[in-house]
Structure formats: structure tokens, C-alpha cells
Amino acid sequence: MKKTRGIPLALLACLVLLSILASCSSTGTNTYSAYADIPGYLTKNQKAMIKSLSRLDSTGHLYELNYTQDYQLSGVVDMASGEAGVAITTYIRSLMSPNSRYKTPVIGYGSSCSAFFANAVNRDAILASNHDGANVDGAAVILHTSPVGGYRSVGLVDMGYMGITRATFFTARGQDMLLDTPFYTVSGMNEKGFAVASLDVTGASAQFEDTDLPNLPSFLVVRYLLDNVDSIDAAVDVLNGFDIVPDADGAVRHFIVADESGDAAVIEFVDGRISLIKAREEGGSLSVTNHFLTPGESEVRDGLWRKRMIDMGLAMNSSLSADNAMDILSSVRYSADYEKILESREEGRNPYDLANVGKITVWSVVYNVSRRSATLAMRENFANIYNFTI
């Protein structure tokens, strides 16, 4: 009889270790167990969708969700056409979770973001963006949507806009608020090769002019464009049909958009009209931070240092790729912002202690519009890159 040898103990230990590591990989693990407090009043389908959420990191800062419910965007936009501010967020809550006792707070977030567009050396269209914010210990969601009659897309949601931190993410309130995520998308890209990112803009008190057009709060612009447009021209046509109004917290935004034609534009709203700054008219690339690019419109030059750094990085990278696009974003991350470092020192705070500074680059994302793919770095950790598609 032939003898068989058992698996050596050392090899068995290695196999067990590998299986444990595999279960914790960044490709996504189901996070739901007894500590997830999903409200009992949600529908069966809503609960199933929330339970499909995947955690992508070991710290609980990044999740991925395939949003399978009808979020009724057209109804929200119709409601918004006659209302603004708190009434819209309240309506969204009542529509998404009718039995909920949790309300969306009005948050003065004050995000300080940076973005740019350029064509890579292989002619791929690249839209890159830093999202800076005060949700220092917050959670973000990579959100996939497939609206009926609209375009499939992937976007990034900062749960801080709904008052949710990492500590409250798995509470009943945090789970309930996941239903509202489509409306709080900060940036994204759709199946047609259209991408958009929103940025706060300062010095904008005279930005909006009330006309007879229906209102559209600026926080809904990203979602509306992702679902409905396939090009820069289409985005302009759509937005020309609205008065874009400030959010409930007074936040005013401008937007950088790109499409698969290899062009991009910054869209600003000045005295009731759209002001368009196109990449092809600016030498092929485009950068934007937190002040107006429209000539004569902004006395406040917030983010000018970051814009200059981006322009310098683009000038030095004639062979742009997704990797060095991320390097440019790293150079203007919040903790590297020269203006903020000086401000922190003047106020007696350690500028490199993110908890003391009170803000962080929540994420850095590079959308490859041509390939419908994206790379993501979380919380200024550029050594750990996540890849995702629509």
C-alpha cells in the first residue's frame, strides 16, 4: 500500500493565513453582522440593497454600493423647481424613507477642492479631482446607479454631507441615510463618457439671478447631469433650462465637466447666465479650485496657490498618465496646501495634524473618461490605490 504524506504544518499555517488575507482584500468584503443596525421600517428591497454594501478598506472609511432602488430624480427636480434649501432635503428624506424619523441636517461644510482636465499621452481624456472637507473621520461611498430611462454611472459620495461619520455609519441613522446617497454625489462619470466634479466657489454673493426658470439647487447638479447628459454641449443645454440656486447652507458651486471628445469645461453661473471656460480655448488643459475663472467675477482668490501648483504639474508632465495625474493631486492635497499651513501656524495649530486642522483631502480620484475607469486614493494615502469602473 502506497504511503501518503500529510500536509506539513508550516504549509498548512501559510494556507490558513492566505485564506484570511484573501477575505480582507480591497476588492470588497460584505460588512454586515450583528452590529449593523438596519431600521426595521425599510422595505425588503431596501434592506437587501443596503446589505449588499461592501467595505473596501480595513478602517471603515470607504464602501461600495450598487444602488438598485428608484430614487425618483424627476420628482425631486419637479419639487425643487418651486422650492429651495431645507424643503428639498426634507422632501428627499420623505421620498426615500417615508417612515424615517431621521432628518438630513443643514451642514456648512466649506469644502476646499481642486480639479483639472488634460489629455494623457495616449490621448485618453483625464478628469482628476481632490475632494477636501471637514469630515475628518468620515466615510465615503463609491456609488453605482442605473436609473430607469437614464445613463448608468459611478460616483463618489461624502457621507459627511448627511451628517454621517465613520462612527455613526452603522447606526440606524447611518444606514437609513444610505438611501439618499444618489442626491449627494460630489463627482462621477457615466456610461457615455461624460464626467463631472463639483467645487465650492467663494466670492459668489451675486452669482445667482432669479428668473422665471425652474430652480435647481446646486447640490443636485452632479446627479442630474450624470443621469441625463452625454456631452458638454448637452450639459450646457440642460442647465440653461434652470436657475441654479444656492444650497440650504448657502454653498455655491461651480463645475468641471469632460466628455469623450477630449474636451472639458468649467461651468460657472454669473448673473443668471452660464459662463463657460473650455479647455480647447485654454491650450488643451484646464484647472480649477475655489475662485471664479470668469474674468472680473471673483475678488476672493481662494485656492489660487493650488491652481498654480496644478498648472505647474501639468506643464512638467508632457506624458500625462493616471499615475502622474494622481501625483499632481497629491501635490495639492489639503495637508500640503501652503496657504492653509500658514493659516494654521498663525492660529497656533499644528498644520500637519489633521485632527487639529479640521479638514482633510477626503479622496483623490482620477477618472479616465475614454476608458470609463477610475483610480482612487483615500484620506491622503497615495500608497494605497483603488480601481473601479461603471
Contact, 335 vs 324, CB < 8 A?
A: no
pLDDT of residue 170: 93
**Which tops the pLDDT comparison, 141 or 344?**
141
pLDDT 10s digits, 151-170: 999 999 999 888 898 999 99
The band of 246, judged by pLDDT with boundaries at 50, 70 and 90, is: confident
Number of other CB atoms surrounding residue 248 within 10 Å:
19
Q: Do you know the residue count of the chain?
A: 390
pLDDT 10s digits, 53-82: 999 999 999 999 999 999 999 999 998 876
Give yes or no for residue 236 having a pLDDT over 60. Answer: yes
In the chain, the N- to C-terminal Cα span, in Å, equals 57
d(Cα 207, Cα 270) in Å, to the nearest integer?
Answer: 5
Contact, 317 vs 366, CB < 8 A?
A: no
| Domain boundaries along the sequence of the chain | 73-389
Contact, 217 vs 252, CB < 8 A?
A: no
pLDDT of residue 342: 64
pLDDT of residue 182: 97
Burial class of residue 186 (count of CB atoms within 10 Å of its CB; 0-12, 13-18, 19+) = buried
For 21-40, the DSSP string reads: HHHT-TT-EE--STT----T
Contact, 307 vs 117, CB < 8 A?
A: no
Choosing among 1.10.3720.10, 3.40.250.10, 3.60.60.10, 3.30.450.20, the CATH entry for 73-389 is 3.60.60.10
pLDDT 10s digits, 326-375: 999 999 998 766 556 666 666 666 555 544 456 789 999 999 999 999 99
Number of other CB atoms surrounding residue 232 within 10 Å:
21
pLDDT of residue 211: 73
Show the DSSP H helices in the chain as ranges: 9-23, 44-51, 73-80, 86-96, 172-177, 221-228, 232-239, 304-316, 322-331, 338-346, 354-357
Place of cell 470607504: 62
The band of 46, judged by pLDDT with boundaries at 50, 70 and 90, is: very high
**Which tops the pLDDT comparison, 357 or 171?**
171
pLDDT of residue 355: 47
Give yes or no for residue 377 having a pLDDT over 50. Answer: yes
Give yes or no for residue 313 having a pLDDT over 70. Answer: yes
pLDDT of residue 6: 43
